[in-house]
Amino acid sequence: MKTLQITAPFQMRVADTEKPQCGNGEVMIRVMYAGFCGSDLNTYRGNNAMAQMPVTPGHEIGAVIEEVGTGVPETLQKGMTVTVNPYTNCGVCPSCRNRRYNACQHNETLGVQRNGAMSEYFVLPWQKVIPVEGISVRDCALIEPMSVGFHAVSRAQVVDTDTVMVIGCGMVGVGAVVRALTRGATVIACDIDDKKLDVMRSIGAHHVINSMTEDVHQRLSDITGGMMPDVIIEAVGSPVTYNTAVNEVAFTGRVVCIGYSKNDVSFTTKYFVQKELDIRGSRNALPEDFEGVIKYMRKGTCPYDTLISGIVSPEEAAGAMAQWHEHPGDVFRLLVKF
């Protein structure tokens, strides 16, 4: 079967690998679409320390059940459209004991710490297979990245009286904006790309700020009457945006960090105490976050065609990744069709 592999920085190939076998408690899926995400781009660039090359990327999945092994519940049947929860959890670490399985100390995400699902067939435990009705198999590949943004909003405990700013309007940021809107918050989207900000407007963001061309502090002061946002969600992973979140959030506000910064970040720590801030990390997503995204998508208002920047074959993937590397701001999600 065809399998995509990142073999070295800036090198990708289509390999011929053996079709897997479906064992007890397992489900074999036929992968129809798999999305490239920012971590895959970092792996391609050689900047992902967690990925050991050669590695098969892929944890954003739209698939159909091909085979069901013994010991699998009857709720999973051949032919079902599904997506995948791509994280592992050990069940015994502090995170798992606190039922925060998304942050398992020993997590291995598909396509990062272990081989992913960018191949024609893939086998995984039945507990990680999520049936999806009413959404096309193509669009199922958008569920996982949006769920990460949904989870960040849950970590922020957003309510309808909050003003929420989301910094970074990629797919994860889209999920955060959507989830904050569904909770009734006033939402501000912040990015350096006007095209992405236009998408945020179309989704329903009340305000947008281009941090490259506008004075972020002044705009936030004008929007909030000087009170500043109750919540700021950082979805970039840059020292600049980390500092913006801490500096611009309201007194007693909540800062939620999704992005991994490649460099150490220095803060004016007096704001931690002076504002009595809640600064929280947000990693991956829980099953209820996947459920929330699926419920949103079933409403039919998700701008799928805008969020899917391109669909390529496995043979075209290397060229598409090279282009994404050269023009990173042009892509929401790039899908590989098997």
pLDDT at 130: 98
d(CA 191, CA 216): 10
Q: Determine the 3-state secondary structure of 334 from DSSP.
A: strand
Spell 179-210 as b/e; 16+ CB within 10 A means b. bbbbbebbbbbbbbeeebbebbeebebebbbb
Amino acid at 8: A
User: What is the rounded distance in angstroms from the CA atom of residue 201 to the CA atom of residue 23?
Assistant: 47
Residue 274 CB coordination number (10 Å): 10
**Structural tokens at position 34:** 């798999």
pTM of the model: 0.95
Q: What is the mean pLDDT of residues 175-179?
A: 98
- DSSP annotation string for 263-296: S-----THHHHHTT-EEEE--S--HHHHHHHHHH
Which whole number is the average pLDDT over 261-285?
A: 94
pLDDT of 261 higher than 90: no
Paired residues of 234 in beta bridges: 167, 257
The pLDDT tens digits of the residues spanning 82-100 come to 999 999 999 999 999 999 9
